[in-house]
Structure formats: C-alpha cells, structure tokens
Amino acid sequence: MSETGKLSFIPARAGRASEDIALQIEAAIIEGRISPGEKLPSERDMQAQFKTGRGVVREAQQILKQKGLIEIKKGSKGGAFVKQVEVDSVSESFTLFLKQKNIDPESLIEFRESLDRTITSLAVTRGSKEEKEALVKKTLELEKYVSGDDPDMRTIAELDRGLNIQLSRMAKNPVFEWIMHAIQKGFSSFDYALYDDPDYREMTVSNWKETAREIAAEEPLKALTFVGNHYLMLLRCVQEKNGELPNRKNFLDNPKINNK
C-alpha cells in the first residue's frame, strides 16, 4: 500500500472544519486523486494543510470511516487508507434507503422488470453460445432441485440469485452486473414470495427455464414475453399476500402464464 504525496487541500472553513475536511477528502477519492489502498497524508500533514488541530482531523476521519470510504489501521504501518467500495455495503445502504422511504412493492417490481428487460435484450445479443447454454443448464438444475422432496428455501434463493447474476454478466456491462449484485444481496424485489408458494414456485421455475431457452435460441421478443410473465406472476402473488386478490384460480388456469 502506497502513501500518496500528490494531494493538496485548502484550509478548512471555521465552524464546520471537520465536515469540510471530510468533503475535500471525499471529493479527492471520487475524482480518483486517491486510489483504493492508498494511504491518506499523515495527521500532521493534514493539520498543516487544513490549518486545524489534530482533533478536528480525527473527527473528519471518523466521518469518512462511517461512510465506508476509509479504514483506519493501527501500528507502525498504520494510518487512514482508502477502501475499495464493496457491493455488500452498497446493497445494505440501498436496502435501508428503500425501507426508510417505504417504497411500495409495485414500484420495486416495476423497477426490476425494466432492469431485467434491458439485461435480457443485451444478453441475447452479447452473450456467448457457451454462456447461453450454461444459463439453460442452470435453470434445469433449479427445476430438478425444486421438484425434489422438501426443497430448502435458502438453497432455492441462492440458485435463483445465481441465475440473475449470471444473466446480468451476459449483458457485458459491469454497471448492470454491479446493480444486480446489490439487488440480489438486498431485497430481490419480493421474488421470495413466489418460491414460498408451491404453485407459483413451479410456474416461476418453468418460466425461468423458458426464458433461458429463448435467450439461447436468440429470440429476444419471446424471451421478453417470459420476463413479463415473471413480473405479472410476482405482482399477482404479492397482491394475494396483501389480501388484495383472494381468488387466483382463473389466473393459475391462464395458459399464457402456466408454461408447463
């Protein structure tokens, strides 16, 4: 780990010195003037640059630490180092934000569907033949596991999570992959509701399999139809659990939804 010697800051503003120092350092990290793994200037150097005391510098470091931007190490080789932002921390913040804002299920489902439609379209055109075949194989593994005796819900969730991340990777756009990682480690758009119900579980797995097959066959419109089916099922399932739709017999008998 190296210590950067190219940083320069302006004196902190009086009255809010620790916040101002934290903002200046945060800007340097975001702009790439300090890279992950690099060590911040020593407390003495920062005191000199910011024209303030050690206590104020340490307060600023704590602010940055709470934001997950730096980690503070002790010892002869210690100090404040820039952290590599991990997807877990992004996921936790995203999930907490959604819970605090009390976002309704319909909005989350709409967001996931729009995201999955884009990813699916890109996966059809950008995914390799090997990746497409692997996706189909993965859906068959999920189908086989679900059809077994007393399947474990945690295992089902992990298999479904893996499929979503594998599909996003086929889009060949790292931003989509990062977002999908964050979503899957967070709220997953209530997908667990589908797997909790035996009837919906069977249809969901079948729908996953057909989606993968159409992606492998390079049929984007058909693949997108199955993506739409998934979120139609999910919306219906969530509404039933909320007591908004007590009777689902006609829905389950719909040949466009039941792909068995």
Q: Are residues 152 and 240 located together in one domain of the fold?
A: yes
CA dihedral 109→110→116→120, nearest 10 degrees, is 130
C-alpha to C-alpha distance for 232 and 113, rounded to whole angstroms: 9
* Domain assignment of residue 209, given as a range: 88-252
The two three-digit tokens of residue 168, written as one number: 């996003």
Q: Are residues 56 and 155 located together in one domain of the fold?
A: no
Q: Are residues 72 and 92 located together in one domain of the fold?
A: no
Residue after which a domain boundary falls, among 66, 82, 98: 82
Residues 6+ apart with CB under 8 A from 186: 91, 92, 94, 95, 98
Q: Is residue 178 part of a domain?
A: yes
Q: Does the CA dihedral 243-105-208-236 come out positive or negative?
A: positive
Residue after which a domain boundary falls, among 82, 100, 115: 82
Q: Tell me, what DSSP letter sits at residue 29?
A: H
- Stated as kind and residue range, the H or E segment containing 81 is strand 79-82
Q: Is residue 78 part of a domain?
A: yes
Give the closest residue to 210 by CA, choosing from 112, 120, 114: 120
The pLDDT of residue 2: 43
The pLDDT of residue 181: 84
Q: How many domains does the chain have?
A: 2
Q: Are residues 35 and 61 located together in one domain of the fold?
A: yes
Q: Are residues 181 and 120 located together in one domain of the fold?
A: yes
pTM passes above 0.75: no
Q: Is residue 148 part of a domain?
A: yes
Q: Are residues 27 and 46 located together in one domain of the fold?
A: yes
Q: Are residues 177 and 237 located together in one domain of the fold?
A: yes
Inter-CA distances, 218 with 134, 160, 221, Å: 14, 22, 9
Q: Are residues 128 and 147 located together in one domain of the fold?
A: yes
The pLDDT of residue 1: 41
The pLDDT of residue 260: 37
Q: Is residue 237 part of a domain?
A: yes
Q: Are residues 61 and 102 located together in one domain of the fold?
A: no
CA angle at residue 112 from 109 to 117, to 5 degrees?
125
Q: Is 134 exposed, middle or buried (0-12, 13-18, 19+ CB in 10 A)?
A: middle
Q: For the domain that residue 163 is a member of, what is the CATH number?
A: 1.20.120.530
pLDDT tens track, the chain, 260 positions = 444 446 789 999 988 999 999 999 999 988 889 999 999 999 999 999 999 999 999 999 999 998 888 999 988 888 999 988 776 666 677 777 777 777 888 898 999 999 999 999 999 999 999 999 999 999 999 999 999 888 999 899 999 999 999 999 999 999 999 889 888 876 656 788 899 888 999 999 999 999 999 999 999 999 999 999 999 999 999 898 888 765 554 444 444 444 43
Q: Are residues 110 and 177 located together in one domain of the fold?
A: yes
C-alpha to C-alpha distance for 226 and 110, rounded to whole angstroms: 15
Q: Are residues 37 and 63 located together in one domain of the fold?
A: yes
Q: Is residue 132 part of a domain?
A: yes
The neighbour count for residue 198, using CB atoms within 10 Å, is 9
Residue after which a domain boundary falls, among 38, 63, 82: 82
The pLDDT of residue 251: 45
Q: Is residue 58 part of a domain?
A: yes
Q: Is residue 7 part of a domain?
A: no
Q: Is residue 5 part of a domain?
A: no
Q: Are residues 222 and 98 located together in one domain of the fold?
A: yes
The two three-digit tokens of residue 202, written as one number: 């069977």
The answer to whether 11 and 51 have CB atoms below 8 angstroms apart is yes
Q: For the domain that residue 61 is a member of, what is the CATH number?
A: 1.10.10.10
